[in-house]
Structure 1
């Protein structure tokens, strides 16, 4: 799964009249619920195609995402924005870096599902917002208040306990959180909308994806491509990538960021439940404590964000 980093223009709420405000907010809530619910159940899709192997799944996901996004941009006339990006060397380089990080995030997540580590993957997405805060402190010199610092320290303790529960450093969780955190950092430099940004990134990845698919054909034959059932699921990885992203883009234009922040824990919570009740992954006492602590950390962080928003509104 890759939770999206929307462009700055997508973060501005739509200017609507009071009469339309209720409808717009309701539509935004429904879109956010749909997006995060789809992301939460994404491991079920990847489990259907695990026979293809994680690298081929990511290659197919990239190709079919590009096909769908090309159709969307053709309909909406968004190719001009993509051409402007490729004409700007600095923005193109930033997009290339974000594309590489996105591919790494996809590959690690699919591999985690394939190897029965969905529980650890969900932990990674739980700590992702706090990783973003930490990156802001280190890379951008942002200063945090007392509650934010406490939430980060609780998260560090949770990660340490998770390591003890696993018997090793939670590389999957940290890898997912860090790769998506840096993805968001570089993604912002391109200043593209969600659909055009993802199209540009997948367009940069498609040559490597096509090369791997061709290599697979030459070395092992048609393989999963000869199975209509598996191919159906592989094709669906494209819409499963793009549709939640577009729903998210719709939501952020209709809701305040504080409201959106309350929805971002739906996906890892659903992944947590899928791992335990559908995939039968083991949750020992130490790992349960680590999840409990990360939930406490997120509640502290969310409360502080909500309090800050109310202060701004009252000013």
Structure 2
């Protein structure tokens, strides 16, 4: 199996774990979501720290937060990802996994909007059309159900803001997430101290204790698979395969958890799927155009490829 094939397989494995994770959190629906989140934070840090230690990369962890600017950015990222984790756990416990899947479907479009607002990135006609369709889907759900799909919107927003904080952070994904949970660990310990004082879930039964400890590898393993895949497959492939995550969440919610899927959902979700199809096709088209702009004949004597427009230029 070649490098690209291994990358795709790793990406599929990561998204499958994420997509089916609702089944795991459902087993802990009798544990307060904040307590589950605190355990996830601490056990994730423990797992990541062991991984970095075995790789001899613990020094990189402290280098990631050795300057105030980097530390503040990582702390902000930690805040947004912890909010995202909490909302997903809450959506499972309150029977809103369908809505959570909607949030992860619309996340790429929220990321596009954030890029436009914060960095002034240009949006093409197809991207604006996709954003408009997503907005229409949210409007349908809001008017139809009498309340905005706040869990979906909050999940998409927190994940988008998380990505925004990490966009210009020159730190690897495993190191940065380890730094994030490290900074969150004091808060997690305080939360667990309160819960354990009143009789927390950890230690109450062997099953619950093992499940809570499992939250560490359940967080770390797919992230490492994703990081491995991202270095070996194209950006478009990453984007397309990522839709496996909310699709599995959606199927788990409807087929296994038996969550209702009403008439307004039947209108909104196809709108979202159409928006994502338009967005993905536009992204694929741009990538193909970028590839055509670089040809073997435009390589310099060192073998470095140059854009076609520069191919005839002399050194």
- Residue 243 of structure 2: aligned partner: 265
1:111 and 2:105 are equivalent in the alignment: no
- Residue 279 of structure 1: aligned partner: 257
Distance across 2 between alignment mates of 1:166 and 1:81: 48
Runs of 4+ in 1 over 4 A off after TM superposition: none
The secondary structure found in structure 2 opposite 1:225 is: coil
- Residue 3 of structure 1: aligned partner: none
- Scaled by the length of structure 2, what TM-score is found? 0.91
Cα-to-partner distance string for 1:122-180 (whole Å, 9 max, x where unaligned): 00000000000000111111111111111111111011112233320111000000001
Q: Out of 208, 215, 230, which is 1:252 matched to?
A: 230
CA RMSD of aligned residues (A): 1.0
- Residue 124 of structure 1: aligned partner: 103
The secondary structure found in structure 2 opposite 1:303 is: helix
Are the aligned partners of 2:140 and 2:264 in contact in 1 as well (CA < 8 Å)?
Answer: yes
Q: Out of 242, 247, 252, which is 2:220 matched to?
A: 242
Paired residues in the alignment total 293
Distance across 1 between alignment mates of 2:86 and 2:164: 19
- Scaled by the length of structure 1, what TM-score is found? 0.91
* Cα deviation, residue 224, structure 1: 4.5
Are the aligned partners of 2:201 and 2:209 in contact in 1 as well (CA < 8 Å)?
Answer: no
1:178 and 2:178 are equivalent in the alignment: no
Distance across 1 between alignment mates of 2:282 and 2:167: 24
* Cα deviation, residue 190, structure 1: 2.8
Are the aligned partners of 2:202 and 2:212 in contact in 1 as well (CA < 8 Å)?
Answer: no
Give the structure with the larger helix fraction: 1
Q: Out of 71, 82, 91, which is 2:50 matched to?
A: 71
The secondary structure found in structure 2 opposite 1:52 is: coil
Q: Out of 190, 202, 210, which is 2:169 matched to?
A: 190
The secondary structure found in structure 2 opposite 1:45 is: helix
* Cα deviation, residue 269, structure 1: 0.4
1:84 and 2:63 are equivalent in the alignment: yes
- Residue 281 of structure 2: aligned partner: 303
Are the aligned partners of 1:158 and 1:294 in contact in 2 as well (CA < 8 Å)?
Answer: yes
- Residue 115 of structure 2: aligned partner: 136
Larger RCO (CA under 8 A, 6+ residues apart)? 1
* Cα deviation, residue 259, structure 1: 1.0
* Cα deviation, residue 222, structure 1: 4.1
Distance across 2 between alignment mates of 1:222 and 1:143: 50
- Residue 164 of structure 1: aligned partner: 143
Q: Which has the larger radius of gyration?
A: 2
- Residue 133 of structure 2: aligned partner: 154
Q: Structure 2 matches for 1:190-209, cutoff 5 A?
A: 190-209=169-188
- Residue 13 of structure 1: aligned partner: none
